[in-house]
Amino acid sequence: MELLTSRTLLAELARILRRAKFTKAIAASGLTLDELVLGYADLATIVDPPPIAPTILNDPDDDHVLACAVAAQADLIVSGDTHLLNLKAYQSIPIVTPAEALTRLLQR
């Protein structure tokens, strides 16, 4: 298994983790927000995807997730985002929840 991301997605992760609902969990980790994001970046391969044609009109930022997956030739797109999950697949790449991804990995 290989984690793939982009600089844009790392910036979005940092922005989302700044939400109040994550404050306690981040504090409990003993790490700063920057340490968490940089730690994830160290675990992942960073790709620089070209833009794709608009696909998710209700949330155009989600198109970057799709572009990243295509550029990285990903086997799966793992997300909890409803807009992405509703697609079910993009260019033959299945879009699954984290729970489904774990199930697939454990079946290997």
Q: pLDDT digit string (tens) for 29-75?
A: 999 999 999 999 999 999 999 999 999 999 999 999 999 999 999 99
Please check whether residue 69 is in contact with residue 93, taking contact to mean a CB–CB distance below 8 angstroms.
Answer: yes
Instruction: Please compute the mean of the pLDDT values over residues 79-90 and round it to a whole number.
Output: 97
Q: Please, which pLDDT band fits residue 82 given cuts at 50, 70 and 90?
A: very high
Rounded to two decimals, the pTM is 0.87
What pLDDT digit, counting tens, does each position of 13-32 carry? Answer: 999 999 999 999 999 999 99
Please check the confidence at residue 1 and state whether its pLDDT lies above 90. no
